[in-house]
Amino acid sequence: MAASPFRAGAREGFLGFLPLSVGLIPWAMVTGMAMISTGLTPLQAMGMNVIVFAGTAQLGTLPLIAIGAPLWLMVATALALNLRFVIFSAAIAEGFRGADSPTRWFCGHLLTDGVFAHCVEKMLKVDDARWRLGYFLAPSLWSWLLWQASTMVGVFAAGSIPKHWSLEFMASIALLVLLVPMARQRPMLVAAMVGGATSVILRGMPLRLGLIVGIVAGIGAGFAAEHWHGRKEVP
Amino acid sequence: MSDEATLWLAFILIGLATTLPRASFIVLGSRVSLPPVVQRALRYAPAAALAAIVAPDVLVVTGDFVPLNPKLAGIIAAVAAAVLWRNPWLPFIAGMAVLLGLRAV
């Protein structure tokens, strides 16, 4: 039975992403619990979860919602936390060559850190547009479903899971596991080390801007290392 | 807590502040293309961002830089598992086991 390119891409994208996606579960549950403890009703919490669909932006704006901060401050905070997605969006955009506008909006809405890190390499390399779309959509839709379901568990289980289990640590493990194959290239490793160190040093900056500065510094360092190295290791 | 309508307006605005950055270049596509040098530089964005997100979580404990702590040990175990074996679940098992084990000691 010959599978369509879309299905073949979807299958490969999904199977590769599946183990990494477990990192979403605790992250989503923590977000669900945080929304309830901020004072949102379950309906409001799930409404926010569906509309925003971004753990970092949700967790980052909850303290502002709690104190009734002005809307512009919430938007500015969310934008600062989401600035990295402009970089991700630009980096993966080539992978959507051949896709129409509604598809692009839909895929853009579903773009998350984990899906980006998992998909970007093959999205740029593979020629078949249908294969690429499947390869992106399968893990993206799975992320969406898993995120909504796990957040709902957190919303309704708020308060009954022992905090000392530190399940949210699995999110950090998932992100670092994504980093391991990248770091085999020297300039990538330099980018990661500078990005991580800068982010730690600047952790006191308001609105988590240290994260943005860390990303920019890491990109600069990786680029510099590439030139330094005579671009030998870059494919 | 702000009133109901303001709250939902806030959700929508925060949602826009999320979807617009995410969709930006994916939607603009070939109409706006970044210079090749920028594109090359952007290849380092994921590695830099992943490290920048994770590093504070494993190196900072309640606001202070703490180079040796159970989370870092857990991350090292998880990375070792990812480098040495192909089993995709093992890093999670190793990382959580080391973290909870060290905390229990």
Task: State how far the Cα of B105 lies from the Cα of B100, in Å rounded to an integer.
Answer: 9
Is B80 inside a domain boundary? Answer: yes
* pLDDT at residue number A26: 80
* pLDDT at residue number B1: 47
Is B72 inside a domain boundary? Answer: yes
What is the radius of gyration, based on Cα positions, of chain A?
19
Whether B51 and B29 share a structural domain:
no
* pLDDT at residue number A2: 57
Whether B29 and B49 share a structural domain:
no
> A204 or B6, which is more confident?
B6
Q: How many domains does chain B have?
A: 2
Is B78 inside a domain boundary? Answer: yes
Per-residue pLDDT tens digits for A69-95: 889 888 887 887 787 888 889 889 999
* pLDDT at residue number B62: 83
Per-residue pLDDT tens digits for A153-202: 989 987 676 767 777 787 778 778 878 888 889 999 999 999 999 999 99
Half-sphere exposure of A210 (CA within 13 A, CB side): 19
Mean pLDDT of chain A: 87
In a mutagenesis test of the B interface, which of A27, A94, A172 is the best target, namely the one with the most B β-carbons within 10 Å? A172
Range A25-43 average pLDDT:
86
**Distance between first and last Cα of chain B:** 42
Measured in angstroms, the CA of B105 and the nearest CA of chain A are apart by 14
Whether B51 and B91 share a structural domain:
yes
Whether B55 and B29 share a structural domain:
no
B36 near A CB under 8 A: no
For A199, the closest chain B residue by CA position comes to B52
Task: State how far the Cα of A167 lies from the Cα of A205, in Å rounded to an integer.
Answer: 26
Residue A129: pLDDT above 50?
A: yes
Residue A214: pLDDT above 50?
A: yes
Is B74 inside a domain boundary? Answer: yes
Whether B26 and B58 share a structural domain:
no
Per-residue pLDDT tens digits for B64-85: 888 889 999 999 999 999 999 8
Q: Which phi and psi (to 5°) does residue A138 adopt?
A: -60, -55
pLDDT > 90: percent of chain A: 49
Per-residue pLDDT tens digits for A198-208: 999 998 887 66
The answer to whether the CB atoms of A182 and B47 lie below 8 A apart is yes
Whether B29 and B63 share a structural domain:
no
The answer to whether the CB atoms of B54 and A176 lie below 8 A apart is yes
Whether B2 and B24 share a structural domain:
yes
Domain extent for B25: 1-33
> A137 or A23, which is more confident?
A137
Is residue B98 within 8 Å of B73, Cβ to Cβ? Answer: yes
Q: Which of A72, A52, A109 is nearest to A207 (CA)?
A: A72
Whether B52 and B73 share a structural domain:
yes
Range A31-56 average pLDDT:
91
Residue B30: pLDDT above 80?
A: no
Contacts of A200 in chain B (CB under 8 A): 55-56, 59-60, 65
Is B38 inside a domain boundary? Answer: no
Contacts of A115 in chain B (CB under 8 A): none
